[in-house]
Amino acid sequence: MRLAVLEAAADLLLEGGLAAATIEGIAARARVSKVTIYRWWPSRGSVAIDAYFHRFRHTIDVADSGDVDLDLTAQLERLIGAFDGRPGVVMAELIGQAQSDPALAETLRTRWLEPRRAAAIAVLERAVGRGQVRADADLTVLMDQLYAPIYYRLIMGHQPLDRQLAGILVADLLDGVRKCSPTGDDRSSRPGTSAPITRPARPEEPPRRT
């Protein structure tokens, strides 16, 4: 019965946005009483977010292939895929509403964001355990540098949100984008160009990280 409520709420939410996912509407669609819904959820917002999480629960799954690049990229791709079309519009709406509704914000954080972060941080922790990611990296910041750009593009709309983004986010962050030129004297050998390209872009050790 709890499942019927979640399915009904997810349907309404994805069809008509948060405004359509009323307790009355959900109760009618799930063929349960409003009392039943209020037994499990304190508010419309909390049913809506649980329903959204339920509908996209599989996007939280992370393979453990041993290859951190592959596993992170696949998880980011699944999130980007989940936000394609209506579901992305609804997530943007939920985030938007949460800015003026502290209870909804709290629900969004605890029922959507935190479980997802826990799953994704486990990938990073395994990577640290395997010696693939530096043990001194701040994993909460890494998480934001991987996931925030997806939400940011979703809510700002300044750049497209396509699956290709996933691999770039992971590669940028794992390998860095610094171009190494420790001696700096390559420059003199190529007059007329301002950007010398004479060394491997990827050194054995990252420079200047203290």
Q: Which is nearer to its own copies, 3 or 195 (CB)?
A: 195
Tokens of 30: 């799930």
Question: Out of 3, 35, 58, 135, which residue is the one contacting its own copies (CB under 8 A)?
Answer: 135
Distance CA 46, CA 104 (A): 7
Name which of 86 and 179 has its Cβ closer to its own copies.
Answer: 179
Stretch that binds its own copies, among 23-31, 32-40, 52-60, 188-196 (CB under 8 A): 188-196
Nearest distance from C-beta of residue 98 to its own copies, angstroms: 7
Tell me, by CB under 8 A, how many residues bind its own copies.
80
Burial class of residue 7 (count of CB atoms within 10 Å of its CB; 0-12, 13-18, 19+): middle
Place of tokens 């497209």: 160
Question: 121-145 burial by CB neighbour count: b if 16+ within 10 A, else e?
Answer: eebbebbbeeeebeeeeebeebbee
23 or 137: CB nearest its own copies: 137
Nearer to its own copies, 25 or 149 (CB): 149
Distance, CA of 116 to CA of 133 (rounded, Å): 20
156, 188, 189, 191: which one contacts its own copies (CB under 8 A)? 156
| Stretch of 1-9, 43-51, 55-63, 94-102 lying at the interface with its own copies (CB under 8 A) | 94-102
